[in-house]
């Protein structure tokens, strides 16, 4: 047990107040002279002793002030956490909670709902939640993680915790669904007459990205048409120097693919982004302020780029525009946490609510004694 604000114990000086009140109450008892006794010889007064009347009431008031001072000092209890085993079950795992014995059983989901709550839906940040449990549970609490054979929501790094975790692998309750394809990029093409032959390959790749009807519409106009919104990928198949309006469109956050014969501003260095089987660059890119510029290094014809006729050209082009996200699915047997991680100090358990309840009970008892009819004068 400890105190977060021990300076508040100075309030214990208020204990003198009930003592003064009970001593002062004796002064209310004044002697009364009787006529028949006035002629008797006076005897020496006995030596007075300090005596407290109604000592149960005095003790209650002293205890009230002492508890109030301790409440102000913010008492806490260290190491008071529940040390029963803790079991966290991933929502995709199939397990009978009755087989886990006497333990705290929760879903491995934000907020750690109890097992009697509905099964959480959707992918969960498994790695972050396990690290949170390791940091919040007392060091002596045994932690068990129940995981399906395949885990969704893993980090790139293997977990390293401050304790040894019982890693239990069970069958999957929910069959693994195929990853939803990301929304395909939407293209807008601006081309001149000299690049009309290249349009068929770009359009064919865009149609291959479609997962639903009209999922990725391609608007294709000549180079005099207005520029699209920034959420579209602009394919600029126009020879010569880019107009200032196009350069501004890129600088403001647009992504644009240009033909090999489109002239770039002077002193611009591009980085190879896509190579063929011989290692020769097929496309290169560079950032332009908030935007991104990608340029083909060869004309978009089968004679110069045979990959246009290959089946994986749509996949390569899509990866060129938007690289696929890092996968987060891993086999549970390969993701068992390691030990040696940092151990965190556990927060102390506050005792102020319990002190407040005790103060309320003592206050009720003090008022009952102070207002009792058996008392003559309430100090």
Residue 59: CB partners within 8 Å, gap ≥ 6? Answer: none
Residue 327's pLDDT band (cuts 50, 70, 90): low
Give the Cα separation of 302 and 146 in Å (integer). Answer: 54
Q: What is the DSSP string of 157-206?
A: SPPB-SS--EEEEE-BSSPPPPPPPPPPP-EEEEE-GGGGGGHHHHHHHH
pLDDT in the model for residue 179 = 44
The token duo for 174 is: 């929910």
Domain locations along the chain = 86-178+330-334, 187-321
For residue range 144-167, list pLDDT tens digits in order: 999 888 887 777 778 889 889 999
Of 130, 144, 147, residue with least CA distance to 333: 147
Please say whether the beta carbons of 122 and 129 come within 8 A.
no
Query: What is the CA 169 to chain-centroid distance, rounded?
Result: 26
Backbone angles phi, psi at 361, to 5 degrees: -65, -45
SS3 at position 126: helix
Residue 143 pairs in a beta bridge with 86
pLDDT in the model for residue 19 = 75
pLDDT in the model for residue 236 = 94
Give the Cα separation of 62 and 64 in Å (integer). Answer: 5
Backbone angles phi, psi at 318, to 5 degrees: -65, -40
Integer CA distances (angstroms), 27 to 32, 48, 353, in order: 13, 13, 40
55-72 vs 352-370: helix axis angle to the nearest 10? 160
Strand 86-89: give its sheet, edge to edge. Answer: 104-107, 86-89, 143-148, 166-170
Q: What is the DSSP letter of 114?
A: B
Give the Cα separation of 372 and 103 in Å (integer). Answer: 50
- Buried b vs exposed e over 90-120: b needs ≥16 C-beta within 10 Å? bbbbebeeeebeeebbbbbbeebeeeeeeeb
For residue range 167-204, list pLDDT tens digits in order: 998 887 755 544 444 577 888 999 998 998 898 899 88
For residue range 123-132, list pLDDT tens digits in order: 788 888 999 8
pLDDT in the model for residue 37 = 61
Give the Cα separation of 127 and 157 in Å (integer). Answer: 9
Please say whether the beta carbons of 127 and 159 come within 8 A.
yes
SS3 at position 236: strand
pLDDT in the model for residue 259 = 93
The token duo for 91 is: 């929502």
Mean pLDDT of 244-248: 91
For residue range 293-303, list pLDDT tens digits in order: 999 999 999 99
For residue range 72-99, list pLDDT tens digits in order: 888 887 766 667 889 999 988 888 877 7
pLDDT in the model for residue 180 = 44
Average pLDDT, the chain: 81
Give the Cα separation of 44 and 47 in Å (integer). Answer: 9
Which one of 112-121, 346-355, 366-375 scores highest in mean pLDDT? Answer: 112-121
Residue 329: CB partners within 8 Å, gap ≥ 6? Answer: 150, 151, 152, 154, 176, 179
């Amino acid at each position: 047990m400890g105190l977060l604000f021990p300076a508040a114990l100075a309030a214990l000086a208020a204990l003198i107040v009930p003592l003064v009140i009970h001593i002062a109450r004796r002064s209310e008892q004044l002697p009364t002279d009787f006529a028949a006794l006035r002629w008797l010889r006076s005897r020496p007064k006995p030596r007075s002793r300090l005596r407290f009347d109604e000592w149960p009431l005095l003790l209650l008031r002293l205890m009230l002030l002492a508890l109030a001072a301790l409440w102000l000092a913010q008492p806490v209890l260290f190491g008071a956490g529940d040390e029963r085993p803790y079991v966290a079950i991933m929502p995709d795992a199939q397990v009978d909670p009755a087989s886990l014995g006497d333990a705290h059983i929760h879903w491995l989901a934000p907020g750690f709902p109890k097992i009697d709550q509905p099964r959480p839906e959707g992918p969960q940040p498994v790695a972050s939640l396990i690290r949170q449990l390791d940091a919040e549970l007392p060091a002596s609490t045994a932690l068990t993680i129940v995981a399906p054979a395949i885990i969704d929501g893993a980090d790139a790094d293997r977990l390293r915790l401050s304790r040894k975790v019982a890693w239990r692998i069970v069958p999957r309750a929910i069959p693994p669904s195929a990853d939803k394809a990301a929304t395909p990029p939407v293209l807008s093409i601006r081309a001149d007459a000299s690049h009309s032959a290249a349009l068929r390959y770009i359009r064919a790749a865009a149609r291959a990205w479609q997962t639903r009807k009209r999922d990725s519409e391609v608007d294709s106009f000549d180079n005099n048409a207005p520029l699209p919104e920034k959420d579209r990928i602009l394919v600029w198949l126009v020879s010569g120097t880019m107009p200032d309006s196009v350069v501004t469109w890129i600088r403001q956050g647009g992504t644009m693919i240009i033909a090999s014969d489109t002239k770039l501003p002077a002193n611009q260095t591009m980085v190879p982004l896509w190579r063929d089987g011989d290692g020769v660059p097929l496309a290169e890119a560079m950032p332009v302020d908030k935007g991104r510029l990608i340029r083909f290094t060869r004309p978009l014809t089968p004679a110069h780029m045979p990959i246009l006729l290959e089946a994986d050209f749509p996949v390569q082009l899509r990866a060129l525009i938007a690289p696929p996200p890092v996968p987060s699915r891993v086999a549970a047997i390969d993701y068992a946490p390691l030990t040696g991680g940092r151990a965190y100090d556990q927060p102390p358990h506050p005792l102020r609510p319990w002190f407040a309840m005790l103060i309320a009970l003592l206050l009720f008892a003090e008022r009952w004694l102070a207002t009792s009819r058996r008392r003559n004068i309430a100090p």
